[in-house]
Amino acid sequence: MTTDLDAIIAHYHDLLDDAQARSIVAALDAGLRERGMLVGPNRDRLICTVLRPRLITPVQYDTLLHAATLVGRAIRAVGTAALSDPTLLAPYRLTPAERELLAIDPGYQGTAMVGRLDGFLAPDGTWCWFVESNLESPAGIAYDEGIAEIFAQMDVMVAFRRTYHAEALPVRQGLQQLLLDTYHAWGGQGTPAIAIVDFPEVVTRAEFDHLQRRFAADEIPTIVCGPDDLRYQGGRLYVETHRAGGGTIWTPVNLVYRRLLQHEFLAAYDLHHPLIRAYADRAVCVVNPFRTKPVHTKLIMWLLSDEDGPAAHLLDAESAMAVARHVPWTRLVRRGATRYRGERIDLLEFARRNRERLVLKPNDDYGGKGVLLGWETSAHDWEGALDAALGQPHVLQERVPVPEEPYPTWSDADGLAITPRFVDSDPCLYGDRAVGCLTRIAATAKLNVSAGGGSAPPTFLVTAKENP
């Protein structure tokens, strides 16, 4: 860790005592419960359980955004080519419904407009690796803003800001502007009426409510609904809501911020659903479009990193160099030969002998489900998982360094404790721009928050004041 970041973190921790820690715990508990920002299977766990935000330096932030911009450009190039190249699409094993959705022109350019890269950033900013591309329906954007607001009001942050500038990153503002820009590129006029659409039981509902309040505060009418609430009639898409005293209201919308996942949607509905009919008729702008499959699943990291793969010719020199520096070696699990650091290898034999340096991931899943860390898996279980991975698309990915930082916690039993946490760094992609850094931390190397296994502190960009 760099001296600068060491000093910044140490200064924050020096401001903590037992009374301050109890105050932070109380503020987080009240603020997060008020906002409904709870995770876990029973939605009963605070999404942030540590007593300080993630603090990053300008050097780190510059490295992260520069790398994300170039890797994002490479992903867009492959995604655009995949729309018309059967060779690129074949490994995805798309269903007929997925192929039909992919063929629908959304009315604007691109396979994805809103996304998030998941990766790891060196404490001194000298390297970063992106291990996954979440370019369908990334979570965390509204959580980050809401938790940052809670921390910003705390006495400890007021004291910290006497010595350092600490700025929350504009991830929600970037999302809002991207939605408006895409709506206008689609052909929309003026201010859109937005529907944030997902299944009502999802654990991320609090995010949608936060976005609704923020959009409405900027005079953008917004409604949160489920797919069953949508109606398509007379060339317009509506959200049907029920009055408390009886009766219904049909609210017209012309921009759908799609948070529901395509594979979950297709498991419940067919292509005659009102959302799909309105989307195909260009009666509504949908962001992200139903074209994200080639760029949001794990296979995109294989297509980027395999120098002998079907997408290698699509990258310009700068993008290819960025991929080499920032995307770890990733391969589609299949029988046959490939290259590892220039040497020809049999992929499955290599995987069997080198599980300590490999991660096995299902192609189209989220929340850490199905991910196996080879170094935490027995040889027997690893062998069985490799055999099973031949039946459905999986990737093997080389292990990358996972940084650690100390984070403070409080419990009545143990008091104030500062312990190491693994930390990831997840910039948002808005069109061709990289913005912000969402953070997840955990005591284990498999970082995941939605399942209740980690914590998501907000990220602040920190610089020293000249005359504190």
* Structural contact between residues 323 and 315, judged by C-beta atoms closer than 8 angstroms: yes
Helix residue spans in 36-105 (DSSP H): 58-82, 86-89, 96-103
Q: Over 50: is that where the pLDDT of 294 sits? A: yes
Q: In the prediction, which pLDDT does 368 show?
A: 67
What is the pTM assigned to this prediction? 0.94
CB contact set of 402 (below 8 Å; sequence gap of 6+): 120, 422, 423, 424, 445, 447
Q: Over 90: is that where the pLDDT of 352 sits? A: yes
Mean pLDDT of 313-333: 96
User: Considering the chain, what is the average pLDDT of its residues?
Assistant: 94
Distance between CA atoms of residues 269 and 261, nearest Å: 12
Tokens representing 100 are: 């039909």
| Percent of the chain surpassing pLDDT 90 | 90
Q: In the prediction, which pLDDT does 446 show?
A: 67
Q: In the prediction, which pLDDT does 150 show?
A: 98
Q: In the prediction, which pLDDT does 40 show?
A: 78
CA 328, 126, 59, 73 torsion-angle sign: negative
- Nearest CA to 212 out of 190, 250, 179 is that of 179
Express each pLDDT in 71-85 by its tens digit. Answer: 999 999 999 999 999
Tokens representing 445 are: 């190397």
pLDDT category, 366, cuts 50, 70, 90?
low
Tokens representing 222 are: 């917004």
Q: In the prediction, which pLDDT does 131 show?
A: 97
Express each pLDDT in 434-462 by its tens digit. Answer: 999 999 999 987 665 554 458 999 999 99
Distance between CA atoms of residues 225 and 249, nearest Å: 13
Q: In the prediction, which pLDDT does 451 show?
A: 47
Q: How far is CA 378 from CA 334, 354, 382, in A?
A: 21, 12, 6
